[in-house]
Structure 1
Amino acid sequence: MPGLYLLALVVSIGGVALLDRRFRLAFWRDRRSTVIATAIGTAFFLVWDAVGIATGVFVKGESTLLLGVDLAPHLPLEEPVFLAFLCYLALVCFGAASARARPSATEPRRSGDGGRG
């Protein structure tokens, strides 16, 4: 079914965005930085893809799941969407790991003497 891969990407982006919104991990914490980092990461990986395509390392396989729209030879429309999703997901995961590492305001502080004093 043409477009199924793009639909899966959009649904996945939506799911990650809901988690991001709920826990304020990336975009809902700092919109500007998230958009800039996602754009830079996506651009970097598109250049990486272009080099791979030019050297013959990357080729587009045939799949009925793709829409069939190519932005360049061997670069389907879904590729930049996937790369943007990959970068956004990495930022959300980093935000989640950072939030987990920070002590919560509701946690009691522990004294350095092991509680004896």
Structure 2
Amino acid sequence: MPGLYLLFLVLSAAGIAALDLRFRLVMPVRPGRAWAAIALGTAFFVLWDLVGIATGVFVRGESPLLLGIDLAPHLPVEEPVFLAFLCYLALVLHAAAGRVRRPRREDAA
């Protein structure tokens, strides 16, 4: 079923966003910095992918779950979406881990 992978990426990102908003981890606290980190991280990894594609390290495998739309040879449209999701997930996990390690101010007093 074409597009299923993209759908699952979007649903996964929505789940992470729900957790982020519920626990006020990243976007509610500093949305500008969060968007900048996601954009810069995604751009870095897309460039990394392009270098890997150019050197023959990365190739696109065939899958019926992909839409079949390529942004560049061997770079499916789902790849930047996955990379943005990965960057967002890393930010949320980092913020959550920091919160777990840090005692709350009212608990510390």
Kindly provide the CA deviation profile for residues 43-83 of structure 1, in whole angstroms up to 9, marking residues without a partner as x. 00000000000000000000000000000000000000000
The two structures have a TM-score, normalised by structure 2, of 0.97
Q: For 1:31 and 1:38, locate their aligned partners in 2 and report how far apart those are by CA, in whole Å.
A: 10
Q: For 2:95 and 2:108, locate their aligned partners in 1 and report how far apart those are by CA, in whole Å.
A: 23
Structure 1 unaligned regions, length at least 5: 110-117
The two structures have a TM-score, normalised by structure 1, of 0.91
Q: Does 1:10 align with 2:10?
A: yes
Q: For 2:29 and 2:69, locate their aligned partners in 1 and report how far apart those are by CA, in whole Å.
A: 34
Q: Percent identity?
A: 63
Q: For 1:95 and 1:56, locate their aligned partners in 2 and report how far apart those are by CA, in whole Å.
A: 36
Structure 1 residue 101: deviation in Å?
1.6
Moved over 3 A (4+): none
In the TM superposition, 1:90-109 aligns within 5 A as 90-109=90-109
In the TM superposition, 1:26-65 aligns within 5 A as 26-65=26-65
Structure 1 residue 14: deviation in Å?
0.1
Q: For 1:106 and 1:72, locate their aligned partners in 2 and report how far apart those are by CA, in whole Å.
A: 52
Number of equivalent positions: 109
Residue of structure 2 equivalent to 1:77:
77
Q: For 1:83 and 1:69, locate their aligned partners in 2 and report how far apart those are by CA, in whole Å.
A: 17
Structure 1 residue 105: deviation in Å?
2.5
Which of 1 and 2 has greater Rg? Answer: 1
Q: For 1:28 and 1:49, locate their aligned partners in 2 and report how far apart those are by CA, in whole Å.
A: 30
Structure 1 residue 108: deviation in Å?
4.4
Q: For 2:95 and 2:14, locate their aligned partners in 1 and report how far apart those are by CA, in whole Å.
A: 17
Deviates more, 1:33-42 or 1:96-105: 96-105
Structure 1 residue 89: deviation in Å?
0.2
Kindly provide the CA deviation profile for residues 17-48 of structure 1, in whole angstroms up to 9, marking residues without a partner as x. 00000001111111000000000000000000
